[in-house]
Chains A and B, each alone.
Chain A
Amino acid sequence: MGVVETLLNSNPKLYVKSDERIITDADRDEDLVDEFDEREVFDLIRNINDPEHPLTLEELNVVELSNVKVNNEKNEVIIQFTPTIPNCSMATLIGLTIRVQLQRSLPARFKTKVLITPGTHSTEDAINKQLGDKERVAAATENTALIQTINQCLATVEKYSH
């Protein structure tokens, strides 16, 4: 992974980015318990860069607000992401990047599931199994080359948040 000789999807369809989150008075109230919501989790992942285009996952419609589910009571976050093409060889890397970003950003109590949107990839079961295997995810994050690629995809998140 890393260097791509030819673009897999050279002319991807672009989507309009969502507006910034509107800060309400309740958000500013320090006394209110501020539970994680879908929009907050979406904001953590929407500006992740695609591994082969200078575009965010949101602009490519790989991630959408409606495909983010947060259950605070069960400490569960479920993300469904949609590869741009059904045989995208970058799908595992994209899913892994989303997992790493959420692991780094969310409190450790959260159990994160990252899955392919049903019916949008030719090998979705195999990719879901791999992304669901925490031991393989842990080993992947100790792989120097792979974590560099992931960090590059995540560098844009930092850029947008400043």
Chain B
Amino acid sequence: MNIELIDTLKGHVGKVWNVKWNPLGTLLASCGEDKSIRLWGKQSQQWKLKTLLQDGHQKTVREVSWSPCGKYLASASFDATTAIWDNISGQFECNATIEGHENEVKSVSWSQSGKFIATCSRDKSVWIWESENDEYECAAVLNAHTQDVKKVIWHPYLEMIVSASYDNTIKMFTEDKTDNEWTNISTLKSHESTVWSLAFDKEGKRLISCSDDQTLKIWKEYLPGNTEGVGTDGEYPTWKCVCTLAGYHSGPIYDVAWCHLTSLIATACADNNIRIFKEIEDSDPNQPTFELISTKYHAHEQDVNSVVWHPTEKGLLASGSDDSFVKLWKIKEEYH
């Protein structure tokens, strides 16, 4: 297994906080401290800046998220707003700004149906917005966390939202079918410090989390009545930590990405390295074993903040760092 640098995308000034591929994988969005969003596309074998989005935010853009249709891009900013950009006119424009959080918005995520957007903030809340005809209405304000909420992600096919916080916990929310209220259905406790990021596997039956405590944890879903005998409340599944990967990282782990094509796991760490993990074949589903198969040392000159797998091209990974660069990597598996 080797990790080969394909391209270095230069343009941002200061920290790059997040990178995201659009659903087709034709555009890579990056955002950062310079308040801009950059869209990069492939042009005769090279990745070039296609679009520069400015003036949407007054402060750092912390995260970007594409809608499942690829026509919309949401951006979360320290200026307490979330901007919605679309290219309906033929070029990307900011056509809506959603407000409500008291301070920095840390993360934004679009549900797979495209119906909902979730945002979270240092104000400890998670907000769910319902979108209809380019109007965004607040559907719920969830105050379950006791501290700064760092990340929100949606389940790959259910209308379920998962959040990670400075309070060391992960929480899951879904709409209660009886009263249509969004409720906290599960709290995942095990990390010993801030949980920075989350990723589901392809089936949505397992979740990986990464933390300031320098570990990764794999959580598995156990449905009510499961044969393993894991207790549930009878209605919702229980998510149990089935694996902890400790001792591999020498700094906070800021991001984790679980590839839905290859099942490889990539991590972004404050020690400037990118690591790739793989599940061992035939490992026990209730006690799985993952191994570190490759480390790219000095992948960046400073903290790596974000990693994302390409949606259609196997082994293509993008990363963003405090060093202001976005890098593209090719991970090549050696088959025996």
Contact = CB atoms under 8 A, between A and B. Distances in A.
Given A132-B212, A134-B303, A142 B59 contact: yes
Interface in B1-55: 15, 33
Nearest to A134: B303
Given A133-B166, A136-B122, A109 B150 contact: no
B201 interface: no
A130 to B, nearest CB: 9
A142 B194 contact: no
A1 to B, nearest CB: 15
* A interface residue count range (under 10 / 10 to 19 / 20 to 34 / 35 or more): 10 to 19
A139 interface: yes
A31 interface: no
Given A108-B301, A132-B212, A139 B323 contact: no
Contacts of A135: 62, 106, 150
Given A129-B193, A142-B60, A136 B148 contact: yes
Contacts of A53: none
Is chain A's binding surface mostly helix, strand, loop or mixed?
helix
A142 B106 CA distance: 14
B38 to A, nearest CB: 19
A138 interface: yes
A19 to B, nearest CB: 35
Interface string A98-140: 0000000000110100000000000000000100111110110
B224 interface: no
* B interface residue count range (under 10 / 10 to 19 / 20 to 34 / 35 or more): 20 to 34
A139 B122 contact: yes
A139 B166 contact: no
A136 B302 CA distance: 18
Contacts of B59: 139, 142
Nearest to B33: A138
B104 interface: yes
A108 to B, nearest CB: 6
Give the residue among A108, A129, A139 with the most B Cβ atoms within 10 A.
Answer: A139
Contacts of A134: 270, 303
A6 to B, nearest CB: 28
Nearest to A110: B302
A109 B270 CA distance: 11
The 3 closest A-B pairs by CB, nearest first: A142-B59, A139-B104, A139-B78
21 contacts: A108-B301, A109-B301, A111-B270, A129-B166, A129-B193, A129-B194, A133-B148, A133-B166, A133-B194, A134-B303, A135-B62, A135-B106, A135-B150, A136-B122, A136-B148, A138-B33, A138-B60, A139-B59, A139-B78, A139-B103, A142-B59
Interface of B: 15, 33, 59-60, 62, 78, 103-104, 106, 122, 148, 150, 166, 193-194, 212, 251, 270, 301-303, 322-323
